[in-house]
Amino acid sequence: MRFGVLVSGRGSNLQSLLDAEREGRLDPGVIACVVSNRPGVQALTRASDAGKPAIVVDHKAYPSRESFEAALVGTLEAHGVQAVVLAGFMRLLTPGFVARWRDRLINIHPSLLPAFPGAHAHRDALAYGVKVSGCTVHFVEPEMDAGPIILQAAVPVLDGDVEETLAARVLAEEHVILPRAVQLLAAGRLSREGRHVRIAPSV
């Protein structure tokens, strides 16, 4: 299964996928291309260092969300992409885009959903006073951070944590569960029943 990875910034989750592919942990998944909506970001350097097509589709260059997404889909299709990973991609996608990749579109979010959706998960978790946080890989639906959950990992919230320390602890787990979820999808081991995602045993 050929994956396109959409990014917007640092790309550490992308790096975890590139490393997993190199080590045979994505098999039969293949990273076909990396697309950023922002030029000049570290994720693009990581992609080209790994020998992957590193493409910019700058949302600012398009007059509407639909035309931006049409360019995105065109790029992904040109690279034979069959499934899409949002790895720190910071644009909301339209229902049309989500429908185009239904059951083939996953996102990583740095909280235990449904707690703390949105762009400030760590700040919100700390403000709430939770004792446990974590990360979630889920299928994407048009509502933000709301699709059926594939994998989650939990970490403790420690006394004295600030956004940066909690984020670092969670990120280490993101780098474990995202490649694992991509491999499961690639291997055809995920099936959806409503909100529930079943993981078939490996054969």
Catalogue the active-site residues: 109
Query: 105, 129, 104, 103: which is closest to 115 by C-alpha?
Result: 129
Q: Which CB, 109 or 169, lies closer to ligand GRF?
A: 109
Q: Which CB, 142 or 200, lies closer to ligand GRF?
A: 142
Q: Which CB, 78 or 168, lies closer to ligand GRF?
A: 168
- Find the shortest distance in angstroms from Cβ 200 to ligand GRF: 26
Query: 43, 41, 36, 37: which is closest to 12 by C-alpha?
Result: 43
- Find the shortest distance in angstroms from Cβ 10 to ligand GRF: 4
- Find the shortest distance in angstroms from Cβ 75 to ligand GRF: 19
DSSP 8-state symbol, 60: G
For the chain, strand residue ranges (E) read 2-7, 30-36, 54-56, 83-86, 105-109, 132-139, 149-156, 190-193, 196-199
Q: Which CB, 168 or 200, lies closer to ligand GRF?
A: 168
Q: Which residues bind ligand GRF (CB under 6 A)?
A: 9-13, 87-88, 108-110, 171, 174
- Find the shortest distance in angstroms from Cβ 14 to ligand GRF: 6
Find out whether 133 and 155 touch, Cβ atoms under 8 Å. yes
DSSP 8-state symbol, 61: G
Residue nearest to ligand GRF (CB): 88
- Distance separating alpha carbons of residues 29 and 42, to the nearest angstrom: 23
